[in-house]
Amino acid sequence: MFSFRVVATSGRARAGVLTTPHGEIETPVFMPVGTAGAVKAVTRRDLLDLDARIVLANTYHLMLRPGDALVRDLGGLHGFTGWDRPFLTDSGGYQVFSLAGLRRLDEDGVTFQSHLDGSSHRLTPERSIEVQMNLGADVVMAFDECPPSTAPREAVLAATERTTRWARRSREAHTRTDQWLFGIVQGGVLPDLRERSAADLVALDFPGYAVGGLAVGEEKSTREGVLEHVEPLLPSGKPRYLMGVGTPEDILESVARGIDMFDCVLPTRNGRNGQLFTRTGRLSIRNARYRDDPRPPDPECRCPTCRTASRAYLRHLHMAGEITGATLLTIHNLAHYLDTLRRMRQSILSGRFEEFRTEMRRSLAASAAEGEGS
């Protein structure tokens, strides 16, 4: 049911195919974030029209609402949502970082105070895996501890070692053969701890590996340095997933460093807040200069939004608080991300990734120098 193969390389950039029980995924790939089982502001039909190949959902949030047992009883995420392409679920490990003020961590696991109603909930490696098996995603993640970028070395070391112990427990608890369980490499921005984490996780022989603990406040150059260091430590024949990153520029630089899979809330969150990603940079639709602008958001884009809506109309919808505005802006941003990854893949297949990278960087740099995307 599962396989992964690299079909082409261009430098360290890779084009691959990940086969799952719910279809093939061409990599490098961007996964729209559907935290609670739905990508905000868009429908299943929109995602299919954009040819999204895989959607990410979240263990912690679905455990709280509507409950993983209910999702299981209604056919898992695929039956519950009607999305018949692959799902990936995060383990809840990111919430150990993002909800630090609402949780208590110990060696066995984490006790959360629900952000919804204050009730207490326990996540351990075993419980995280149980929830993910109930949800039935194609790719699931080991439970990990993600330390903040400002954590001292002692705290990062403790989190790294605990992540390895939790990865082993996650591996032992996982029994579904129709899911692939990925390990997560931690270690902050410290090269020796990244080496230790990668070695420990590779020894556990996961079918894929994620790089976690980045995009949590570190500098862009620091993140890229971590990826440079970690990439050679991971098996070349297994998929590599960079969690929670990032802008199109961030993804470009990560693909250049051998990463295959990405997720981030930026295209959906920024769309709802009136910011569009285009080939010539970012565009804030709230800007008064677009009040009577008849052009599409991105003249080079063929998404449904750019084919039918002007900047003036999108600005009107956004300023009026119309739900349709959030939908149209989100559709464009997702289309931009997905198309950018497809173009990256094609450049790898043709052996021209460095030329693509140079041109994309040049275009974005020119846009930044001028201010906002034209």
Cβ atoms 43, 103 nearer than 8 A? no
What is the SS3 assignment for 145? Answer: coil
Which DSSP symbol is given to 289?
G
What's the start-to-end Cα distance of the chain, in Å? 46
Q: Tell me, what amino acid is at 269?
A: R
Cβ atoms of residues 48 and 32 within 8 Å: no
Tell me whether residue 27 is exposed, middle or buried, using C-beta atoms within 10 angstroms of its C-beta: 0 to 12, 13 to 18, 19 or more: buried
Q: Which of 200, 260, 263, 339 is catalytic?
A: 263
Q: How far apart are CA 222 and CA 149, in angstroms?
A: 11
Q: Is 293 a catalytic residue?
A: no
Tell me the one-letter amino acid at 5.
R
Residue in the block written with tokens 């990278």: 357
Q: Are 134 and 69 in contact (CB under 8 A)?
A: yes
Q: Is 138 a catalytic residue?
A: no
Catalytic position from the list 46, 68, 90, 138 = 90
β-sheet bridge partners, residue 8: 15
Contact 171, 142 (CB under 8 A): yes
305 touches 331 (CB < 8 A)? yes
Q: Long-range pairs for 319-327 at CB < 8 Å and ≥24 separation?
A: 319/286, 323/41, 326/41, 326/271, 326/272, 327/41, 327/42, 327/46
**What residues are annotated to the active site?**
90, 263
